[in-house]
Chain A
């Protein structure tokens, strides 16, 4: 069996080989080496992070699963309670930390008592969380009174479900965000047709399993395909849809299928109409809702070896310059675009200045354009990954690329700037069959408009600061620092 097939298993890219995937992702523990390196932080403002194999939920197998033991998916553990209550609280592990989106979104299936059915049984935290009843405003002429819900588009699927308010504690810390609007994913099925048809991945309203090409036909942002119990989006901003405060279903250009917040007549997506939503009712960045240590955070990850690691540990440290353990120190601040293209910075690579770059823990690879690097295949899933030296090469010097790029601020001003060294390895070089954390995997992604995503591989062995917009420390723009 070619080496790259082994790598596919580790990537969770089961494809047509889903029957063999079980062995790769069924084990929650592994004897393979863990990452080591950066020292762990301690303190009441420090939560533990990990990259590991996410075990299947309940008794369901995880195949065929794009998110089964996800490659480079960063996790945190939260304790979630109904607002103002200590009853029905639930500790939820394996919530994916995503610096490329905004807001807490938890799978309905993970908020119910687990049973042999993946949807769980009635009761539990979900039953204790009231939905929000409101009347639509600013929509398309139809006024609906009912349940507030949202369709949030991700590049790899869509998040659909109701909005509910919760209290969130980052486990292991004294940091609690109170009365935070979050989204329940999958409690109002089926999703509205407009939410489905604009998704990049979905092509069947009620699809499940895989099609004849091995492609998952269900929305990847559902159980069990998500590979997590939910997402916590902690990008540099406060609300997930600023334009939604004044415009129902904001559009841009010719994107007429837009759908964001809606009010639904019943607990399905069948009778919903777009609505404006006041900022205070929108899904918010939980960091901004903390009483202190709310101006930003640090992500510090242990390093992993060039052959990957079964797991990697790290810390999420809340606040910047608010405690002894989160001082900016000598880190270089790189201002991120506060407005039109929010959160983006310039990355100059191989002579090209790329305007659309972020530090995104929700991206599993370095995504950047370099036509001189061979892809792992010409079609199918392998074509999304770089294989330096060629699709069947391994071992030789040219199958490991040591690269560097210069990051500077969103105005493309030359200073301050910071040079980041990174590696892209041919998948064929990897031998660790149980690894999920890699600091040396890349692909072209959409490769247009200067797209340069510093994905999760960037984070290992580093501390990266995320300074939020409108922060209280006197720095004008949101920023990254490292």
Chain B
């Protein structure tokens, strides 16, 4: 009897100790993640609050970390003084057009690779090499060619280069989606008299649409974020948001902190949205998509 009581007491103590250790482990885990969240999201928090500060908060010391009351004055200044509205529209238009063009061109190629193994191993290696190709290698000849054809400072010029640079990634992702699609459905449609192209557009596309949306969103954000081609090939009228931001660094950032932070907020907005929508695909997308640099 006494032994039994003693034993249960020991095991209770052990369980408590185990629980305490687990609790500490959990606490440390969340503490570590909280520190990580502070480091990775802190800059965004500060940029957003800075963009909302009125002048008296802006010059306050000790600094006001939260603007009271928040003011949209910097956004108004960005849209009027720095023509932010135009550059935001430029970015939107260029990214949307490049996204659509990249999808339209890549889909049949991906289909050809997925269904007929077109190009074999050679093509997939070529696509990978193209993905790794530094943009700096293209910018000099593209600049000279665009000068010749009058394509600098135009939407078309940027859309063309963005579309083509994005093809390898789009094709690579789409091949996977099409391979997962059962070939029997297509064949049934073709027996009913559909042409190959119509079967692709009317049967395959609607079913793999979610996959295409993933490719499209990655294409959009990659184009939105691209900087090297944008800074070399755009002029006053066709600047994108990325180029606009750099204009606040020349002549001393300090003067236009408010507008600069407002433009950063607008510039990172699509990235925030897409990071949440595409959670499951982030690894693939970041590894093989994205024009980094």
**A and B from one complex:** no
Which B residues have a C-beta under 8 Å from some C-beta of A? Answer: none
